[in-house]
Amino acid sequence: MKKTIFKTIKDLPRHHPLGAGTPACGGCGALEDIKLFCDILGEKTIFVNAAGCMTLLSVYPFTPFRGSWIYTAMASAPAGAQGVRDALDVLIQKKRLRPEDDLQVVVLTGDGSAYGMGLSATSGAMDRNLDFIYLCYDNEGYGNTGHQYSAATPHGAQTATSPEAGGYWGYKKDLFSIWAAHRPSYVATVSGSDPLDMARKIKKAKDLKGPRMFIALAPCPTGWHYDPKETVAIGKLAVKTGIWPLKEYIDGKVTHSKKPLSKEKRPGVEEYLEKQGRFAHLFKPRRNDELLAEIQARVDDYWDNIP
Amino acid sequence: MYRIRFHGRGGQGMKTAGRILGTAFFLAGYEVQDAPLYGAERRGAPMLSSVRANGKPINERGIINNPDLVIIADESLLTLPAAGVLPGLTSHSVLLIQTDQSAGTIKNHLHIKGEVLILPLPPDEKTTGGMALASASCGAAGARLCGLALDILEQAVRLELKTLSPNIIEKNLARSRQVFALLPAGIVREGKEIMAGWQRPHWIDLPMEEASISAPAIHGGATSLNMETGDWRILRPVIRTDDCVRCGLCHVFCPEGVISLTDDGLPEIDYHHCKGCLICLAQCPAHAIDAVPEHDKGGKL
């Protein structure tokens, strides 16, 4: 067993392969996630990118990636990844590509694609045991088009399509469990505000084969309505309050890599919610105690049922 | 017909400024069009907002190419060709810039033939770079320069900001009155109707291109470094090296990856690309990073 190489912040890579100068908003949580993925995976990658905010990273003739990048329609990134993987395998077999020049295929999509219209193609890729990494940057809405709700939007969040007091009536889909039910090589949730946990999980996945699936929390100043400098603080609160569990699925078992404090000691969900304009209606003009209690109860219930 | 173009960066409020002016014109009895154009659809990226107002139905559409009035919220856009703030200005048009520089400096530097007016930044807004009330400031400036009445402007501000708290609406109203008093009334003149009739376009035949030209591939890595996103900044993070404890957290958390560490662990910010999100400032455990308004550095002209 290899020893953990990321013990402290100082063990994280010093050099960032991902180039600056992207059109992503200042304070973008998704960019933070992708930056760390590039740090750990290195330059021998090909990102298969479904339509979303992050497709705007590569607008001809500019790209922040040092490896390759290909654009697909919103529902079909994992299908595109299958084609790319097959092509690489054929090239290696025909000795037109040296095995050491092989590329890691990484699907990059937002939550709109991962939780919604791309789910079928993802399911198929896992069925076929496709050798790839999937990175879903989850900003809990269709961020690129003005933040309409998606299947990843949390209950009560205001979006462009749930603007009324009370916010989104639906509930965030449990994509982790849906993915894990396919029994792929690896599934994990991560957050850019917790870079050590994230770096360890990416490293672990890098050394495996088969489908390796990531859901990365991506706080979004533009869509969640908060000051861009709060991105990391909000990501940390999501973990501390227990709203965003950091966990992984491997060899048929789910384990939590970091647990929040006990119900009595951990900060309430309010601390996370009140920092974001999309939840302002819970506090102003009147406190919505009923909805706040419901959100808190769901989080408590989740952790009560973790062995 | 009045044609007004507002220029700003995503997040500064120029869409709302256009809406405030459009609503004011509408309340004054005009036919009105107002529409924002977001370009890159990103906070900090250049955007513009167009307002047309006419006493009779408006048949013109699209971006305003022949403005009677151009209002610029952020002077750093002047040096950015992609922002397109200057095209279409003639001796007939009026240019208003929110800046601490003088009108003469701007007129001479940019060879502007028409009138140049200055809207000074509010002195009590050091922490926001003057952008907290920019939508009310610029909307009010447009209304004043086009000769609309103060009570109509106030009504428009209330209508457009009605979802905000009473305290914030009051601040915007106060700023609107202040701007109204600062600027001369009605100096913008209506431009001529130019869409007299349909004209046959001059067709140009474009031959088909080779696929390698029409669908090119990029073979270089990290070409985005050629985009100097540093000019998105309103506030500049500045590290006080004496107070820095060399923990490296700013380097880890900067989403742009523009904070590098020297061999002895001191962070250095690449200001050519830093967008000024200030996550570094918020996360610095030693509070060793200050936010300095960009316009405090004497502007960029």
A60 touches chain B (CB under 8 A): yes
Q: How far is B174 from chain A (nearest CA, A)?
A: 23
Cis peptide before A61 (omega within 30 of 0): yes
**What is the distance between the terminal CA atoms of chain A, rounded to a whole angstrom?**
26
CB contact under 8 A, B281 and A24: no
| Count of CB pairs separated by less than 8 Å, A with B | 129
| Residues of A whose CB is below 8 A from B228 | 21
**A178 lies in a domain?**
yes
Residue A3 lies inside a defined structural domain of this protein: no
pLDDT at B126: 55
B218 to chain A: closest CA residue:
A61
Give the pLDDT score at B166: 92
Which run of H or E residues covers position A271?
helix A269-273
| CA–CA gap between residue B68 and residue B64 (Å, rounded) | 9
- Inside any domain, residue A7: no
Contact between B252 and A12 using a beta-carbon 8 Å cutoff: yes
**Smallest CA–CA distance from A16 into chain B, residue:** B257
Q: How far is A238 from chain B (nearest CA, A)?
A: 16
Chain A nearest CA to B120, separation (Å): 25
Profile chain B (301 residues) by mean pLDDT over runs of 10 residues.
95 94 97 89 86 92 92 89 90 93 91 93 66 90 97 97 91 94 95 72 82 75 92 92 96 97 95 96 97 70 37
Contact B222 A43 (CB under 8 A): no
- Chain centroid offset of residue B148 CA: 23
B45, B9 Cβ separation under 8 angstroms: yes
List CB contacts (< 8 A) between B42 and chain A: 23-25, 56, 222
The C-alpha atoms of residue A239 and residue A151 are separated, in whole angstroms, by 20
Q: Which residues contact B239 (CB under 8 A, 6 or more apart)?
A: B250, B267, B269, B288, B289
| Sequence-distant (≥ 6) Cβ neighbours of residue B43 within 8 angstroms | A25, A26, A27, A221, A222, A228, B9, B10, B11
| Residues of B contacting chain A (CB within 8 angstroms) | 10-11, 40-45, 165, 216, 218, 221-229, 232, 247-249, 251-253, 255-258, 260-261, 270, 273, 275-279, 281-283
| Residue A6 within any structural domain of the chain | no
Residues A255, A180: contact at Cβ < 8 Å?
no
Cα-based angle B118, B124, B127 (whole degrees, multiple of 5): 100
Question: B54 has which bridge partners?
Answer: B31
Phi then psi for residue A140, to 5 deg, are 60, 40
Q: How far apart are CA A126 and CA A121, in angstroms?
A: 9
Å from B32 to nearest chain A CA?
Answer: 25
Task: Indicate whether A268 belongs to any domain.
Answer: yes
Name the residue among B218, B261, B279 with its Cβ closest to that of A27. Answer: B279
Which CATH number covers residue A117?
Answer: 3.40.50.970
Q: Which residues of chain B does A229 touch, with a Cβ-Cβ cutoff of 8 Å?
A: 277-279, 281-282
Res B170: pLDDT: 94
- The answer to whether position A17 is within a domain reads no
Which of B58, B59, B98, B63 is CA-nearest to residue B78? B98
Shortest CA distance to B195 belongs to which of B68, B65, B31?
B65
A150: three-class secondary structure by DSSP: coil
Assigned domain for A14 exists? no
pLDDT tens-digit readout, A119-175: 999 999 999 999 999 999 999 999 998 899 999 999 999 999 999 989 999 999 999
Give me the pLDDT at residue A260, please: 96
Indicate the number of domains in chain A.
1
Phi, psi of B94 (to 5 degrees): -110, 140
CB contact under 8 A, A22 and B216: no
Region of A250 (left: φ > 0; alpha: ψ -120 to 50; beta: rest) is beta
Closest chain A residue to the Cα of B9, Cα to Cα: A25
Q: What is the CA radius of gyration of chain B?
A: 22
Q: Give the pLDDT score at B203.
A: 83
Tell me if A65 is assigned to some domain: yes
- Say whether pLDDT at A112 is over 80: yes
Q: Which of B75, B92, B78, B74 is nearest to B1 (CA)?
A: B92
Give the C-alpha separation, A245 to A240, whole Å: 9
pLDDT digits (tens, 9 = 90+) for A237-260: 999 999 999 999 999 999 999 999
User: So what's the pLDDT on residue A135?
Assistant: 98
Inter-chain CB proximity B42 and A24 less than 8 Å: yes
- A80-111 pLDDT per residue, tens: 999 999 999 999 999 999 999 999 999 999 99
Determine if the peptide bond prior to B123 is cis (ω within 30°).
Answer: no
Res B14: pLDDT: 95
Band (pLDDT 50/70/90 cuts) for residue A1 is: very low
Q: How many CB atoms lie within 10 A of CB B261?
A: 17
pTM value is 0.82
Two tokens at B47? 């955007």
Range of the domain at A90: 22-304
Structure tokens at A121: 């193609």
> Are residues A64 and B278, on separate chains, in Cβ contact within 8 Å?
no
**Does residue A115 contact residue A152 with C-beta atoms inside 8 Å?**
yes
pLDDT score recorded for residue A141:
97
Q: Is the pLDDT of residue A43 over 70?
A: yes
